[in-house]
Amino acid sequence: MDEADRLLLRRYRLPLVGELQVASLWDALLSRELFTPDMIEDIQRAGSGSRRDQARQLILDLETRGSQALPLFISCLEDTGQDTLASLLKTSRQAAKQDVEAIRPLDLKPVVLGPEGLKPEELRVMKQDPSKPSQGKLAPVVLGPEELWPAKLRPEVLRPEVPRPGDIGSGGFTDVCPQDRAKGNADLAYVLNADPCGHCLIINNVNFCRESGLMTRTGSNIDCERMQRRFHLLQLAVEVRCDLTAKQMVQALTQLARRDHGALDCCVVVILSHGCQASHRQFPGAVYGTDGCPVSVERIVNTFNGTGCPSLGGKPKLFFIQACGGEQKDHGFEVASTSPEDETPNSNPETDATPFQEGPRSTDEPDAVSSLPTPSDILVSYSTFPGFVSWRDPKSGSWYIETLDSIFEQWAHCEDLQTLLLRVANAVSVKGIYKQIPGCFNFLRKKLFFKT
């Protein structure tokens, strides 16, 4: 759904939640394939199951259903006799589109900034030896719509390098492991003494159905093998599930949550898939099943809360998400020259971006009050900042997973998880021309040192 339609839905959320008659809409929504039967059931179970709760969830989920979701929804309203709401949305949508057309620039030309006298055939992104600065051969900066850029000036995304202890320190890290007293203090650090210390579930979605419009995630199997080996070395019992639909993903996660974790000390979930933004209260983002249906990160995490998984109460639950957070490409705020050895001419990095994107919620109106409990002993690590793409090289895997594996190999024996993830963010942030920075939501109560 484009931004204008998304903003329109949010603008009229209060009257929609207050007046929408959802019971008459289900058949119309199904017939136009706006939602699947499973999605309809999820909406009907939202909150207390009241009409208002169902209407609120319907409006939120509608944002994930593609570029034609709003006009199809309007036609559903018309078919079910809800003409007042249909007219309100249709009129406002037409007015918004007319406003956009009125201010749209007509004939944008790229503006090239560079040394005076630089000939058009010299407009290249030049690779220079940084030890030999040139006064007259500066690379020009191109401003303007990307589709109008000369072909030679298109930015290329470089293959990720394997971080080395000596150069990870560009962000202030040192090569010497700190002797952290917290590691042996049960009041300051989680105790991971069990053998194995916990379960690790890896869901690796590579091949998606044609109807989903999602491309094959070439290179993801490399990520999967890395994570399977790494967490096995960190003394976890690893299970890998491949190419799961959204419903199968939920089932696999529920089965893991229902196990008896009483004799174990932690639990780890790794998701490798396409992703998008999602409306949320606590944890942003969603990941796609192979059928093209999204599962929100919030739902994944809350499967392991005190109600769904009481045997993990007070124990760390870790989630690592390799998926796009949206479709924006981050150019960075400053373009620095990249060393020649970082470049792989035949590399063709891909993103885990998806056709459907869901925007983050604005502040809830009075009718939408959060009832979820405050999470504890949970950490969710994202491969990218919400709203932006996450880069994956078909030959070497994703930047995030490759770096995560390397950092864990070098430092997990002596540093806590939060410090490890800072190293990962620092190392990934300096890669390529397009930028990416991982981040996390940390609700751990103590430091976590892996068992090595």
pLDDT tens sequence across 18-72: 999 999 999 999 998 888 888 888 888 877 778 888 888 888 888 888 888 899 9
- Low-confidence winner among 97-101, 181-185, 217-221, 334-338 (lowest mean pLDDT): 334-338
Is-catalytic flag, 274?
yes
Residue 249 to residue 36: CA distance in whole angstroms: 16
pLDDT on residue 160:
42
* CATH number assigned to the domain covering 198-329+374-443: 3.40.50.1460
pLDDT tens sequence across 95-140: 887 765 555 555 555 555 555 555 555 545 444 454 554 455 555 5
pLDDT on residue 371:
37
pLDDT tens sequence across 193-203: 999 999 999 99
Q: pTM for this one?
A: 0.55
pLDDT on residue 332:
38
Q: Which of 339, 320, 354 is nearest to 431 (CA)?
A: 339
In the block, residue with structure tokens 């339609």: 5
* Sequence-ordered alpha helix ranges (H) in 140-212: 165-168
Classify domain 3-96 at the CATH topology level.
Answer: Death Domain, Fas (1.10.533)
pLDDT on residue 116:
54
b/e string for 324-355 if b means 16 or more Cβ within 10 A? bbbbbbbeeeeeeebeeeeebeeeebbbbbbe
Domain ranges of the chain: 3-96, 198-329+374-443
Residue 80 to residue 422: CA distance in whole angstroms: 53
Same fold, 3-96 and 198-329+374-443: no
Q: Are 272 and 202 in contact (CB under 8 A)?
A: yes
Options 261, 274, 276, 280, the catalytic residue? 274
Residue 268 has pLDDT above 90, yes or no: yes
Residue 358 has pLDDT above 50, yes or no: no
Residue 364 has pLDDT above 80, yes or no: no
